[in-house]
Chains A and B, each alone.
Chain A
Amino acid sequence: MLNTLPAGELLDLFLHFLMLSLLSIGGAMSTAPEMQRYFVVERGWIGEADFTTAIALAQAAPGPNVLFVPVLGFQAAGLPGAAAALVGILLPSTLLSLGVSRWGASRRDTPLVRAFTAGLAPVTVGLVFATGWLLALPFLGDAAHRNGALVLIVLTALVTLKTKLAPIWMILVGALLGAAGIA
C-alpha cells in the first residue's frame, strides 16, 4: 500500500526541497507548480490526480497549508518521504528567516530592500495564479464533472472575495457536493 523510494531518490527529493525552500517567497504554495512538475512530470513518482488530492487533504485538515508538501512526500515514499519533504521545505527558509528577522526590520526602507520586495511581488502574484490554474486544470479535462466543478471553483472564489466566511464551510460544501456526485 505504501510507496517507497530507493535511498538515492529519497536524497534527491530532500535536496530538491532544500532548494525550493529558498525559492518559496510568498509561501510554499508559490512553489506548488514546480513540485507538480518535479513529482508528476519529471520523476513520475505520483499521478496528476494524486497531486490535487495532496492539496485538497492539506486544505481539509487543520494547520498551515504547507502540509501539502509532506503529503506529496508521503505519496511518493511513505513516512521517510513525508519527513524528508517537511524538513527539506522548512529548514533553509527557517534558518534564513531567523537570521534576517534578527538582522532587523530597520533596513526595510533602504532602496535595495524596497526594490527587492517591489520587484518580486508581481512575480509572486503570477505564480499564485499559475497554481490556481494548475489546480483547476484536472477538473476541466474531466467531462463527467466539468460543469459542476467549474461552478464550484468560481463560487468559491467569489465567496472568498466577497464574504468573511471561513474556508472550512466551503470545503465542507465541496465535499458534500462531490460525494453526491454533483461536482
Chain B
Amino acid sequence: MMAARPATDAALQRPASPLALFIAFSLLALQGFGGVLAVAQRELVDRRNWLSRAEFVELYAIAQMLPGPNVVNLSLMIGDRYFGWRGALAAITGMLLAPFLIVIALAASYQRLAEFPAVAGALRGMGAVAAGLILAMAFKMLGTLRGNLLGPWLCALLGVTALVAIAVFRLPLAWIVIGLGLVGWALARWRVAVLDAQAARRKAPDVTAQSPAAGGKPGSQP
C-alpha cells in the first residue's frame, strides 16, 4: 500500500526527532479546547504535512476500535511509526503533559474559586454545555451505525439495552461491555457468516447448483 502512494504524497515531511514530535503534539493539544481531533487533523495533515488525509482517517479508524482515548491512541500510532516506542512516548507525553498540569491547576484553584457564586454558576453553565456536547456526539455516532452489518433492529436492541442497563439500573460497566459485547460479537459473527454466504452464492450461483454432491453441502439449502 505504501508503495502505491499517490504522487501528491511525495511532499510528505517527517518529524526530525522525538523532541519535535513532543513539541508538535504539545502545541496541538494546547489548542484543543473541547476536543483535540479537529486540531490534530489540521496540524498534522494540513500544516506539518506528516500524514496524508487518507492516512489520518485510516489511523483514526483503528484508534477508535481500540480501548483507550482515541486521540491518545492516534498520537501513539503516529509516534510509533516514526521513532518506535520512543516516538510513541514522545507523542503521548506531548499530548497530555501540559494539558494535565493546566487542568489540575484549574481543579486545585476551583475549590477556592467555587465560593464565588459567579464561578459556581459559570461551571454549572459549562457543565450543561458539556452534557449537550456529549449528547450531540452520541447522535453523530448514531449515524455511523447505518452501515453496521447487524442491521437497524439488532443495533437498536444492543444500544438501548446498554443505555438502560447503565443509566437506569446503574450496572457495572464491565458486565455491560463483556456481556453485551459477547452477545453483539456472536450476533455479528452470525451476520457475517450469513452475508458472506449470500455474497458467495450471488457470485457463483452456477457452481453450487451444478455440483451439490461434490461439495457435500447443497447450495440450494436456505
Residues on A close to B: CB < 8 A?
1-2, 19-29, 31, 33-34, 37, 41, 52-67, 70-71, 74-75, 79, 82, 86, 89-90, 92-94, 96-98, 100-102, 105, 108, 111-112, 114-136, 138-139, 145, 149, 152-158, 160-161, 166-168, 170-171, 173-183
Contact = CB atoms under 8 A, between A and B. Distances in A.
Contacts of A108: 62
Nearest to A180: B121
Contacts of B135: 129, 132-133, 136, 153, 157
B205 interface: no
Interface residues of B, number: 104
Contacts of B14: none
A130 B166 contact: yes
A32 to B, nearest CB: 8
Contacts of B184: 118-120, 122-123
Contacts of B189: 111-112, 115, 119
B45 interface: no
Contact of A128 (B99, B108, B137, B187): B137
B86 to A, nearest CB: 12
B127 A64 contact: no
Contacts of B70: 26-27
B51 interface: no
A17 B184 CA distance: 24
Contacts of A100: 62, 66
Contacts of A174: 122, 125-129
B156 to A, nearest CB: 7
Contact of B173 (A33, A65, A79, A139): A33
- Chain A interface secondary structure, helix, strand, loop or mixed? helix
Interface stretch (B4-12, B16-24, B33-41, B213-221): B33-41
B222 interface: no
* Residue from the set B31, B102, B166 with the largest chain A CB neighbour count within 10 Å: B166
A93 B188 contact: no
A156 B167 CA distance: 21
* Residue from the set A2, A122, A124, A182 with the largest chain B CB neighbour count within 10 Å: A122
B192 to A, nearest CB: 4
A122 B148 contact: yes
Given A27-B70, A33-B167, A125 B138 contact: yes
A67 B36 CA distance: 12
Interface in B36-75: 36, 38, 58, 62-73
A77 B118 CA distance: 26
Contacts of A118: 148-150, 184, 188, 191-192
Contacts of A89: 68
A29 B128 contact: no
A59 B130 contact: yes
Q: Nearest 3 pairs between A and B by C-beta?
A: A178-B125, A63-B99, A156-B132
Contacts of A131: 134, 138
B95 interface: yes
Contacts of A75: 107
A118 B132 CA distance: 26
A100 B98 CA distance: 27
Contacts of A66: 69, 71-72
B196 A56 contact: no
Given A23-B173, A119-B186, A122-B158, A128 B141 contact: yes
B23 to A, nearest CB: 15
Contacts of A170: 34, 129, 132-133
B88 to A, nearest CB: 6
